[in-house]
Structure 1
Amino acid sequence: MTVEEAIALVEQLLERRRLTEVQDIVFRQSWAGQTYFDIAIALFCHFPRGRSLEAISVNQYKLYY
């Protein structure tokens, strides 16, 4: 099964609702075997300043590792 097939299945189970942009990124990164830290970095880099994920910072996640 590919990541595209998996997302289609998840969205079908969600009764045709689509994943949000953040959910899609987290799902794809998880599928690719990325760590929580790598996913946080990907999200931080994906969203420009001023968007809803502005509070994410690399320093916050370093506390866990």
Structure 2
Amino acid sequence: MNIKELRNIEEYKKRFPTSEFLYRKALQFLPAGVNSTARMVKSGWRPYPLFVKEGSGSRQRYQHG
């Protein structure tokens, strides 16, 4: 992992702290903390996937507002 990727991960963590909390909680109940291999960390979601509160059509509302 290079410096740019590390900066991106730190920015992601600052921007989406609720997803980190929810991911850690989900790890207690779901294999890999998600219900789909497409949302697994090994599928590219680093350091953890976003958690969506609701969706309608092409719009999504994340847990962060």
TM-score in terms of structure 2 length? 0.31
Higher strand residue share = 2
Higher helix residue share = 1
Higher relative contact order (CA 8 A, sep 6+): 2
Bigger-Rg structure (1/2): 1
TM-score in terms of structure 1 length? 0.31
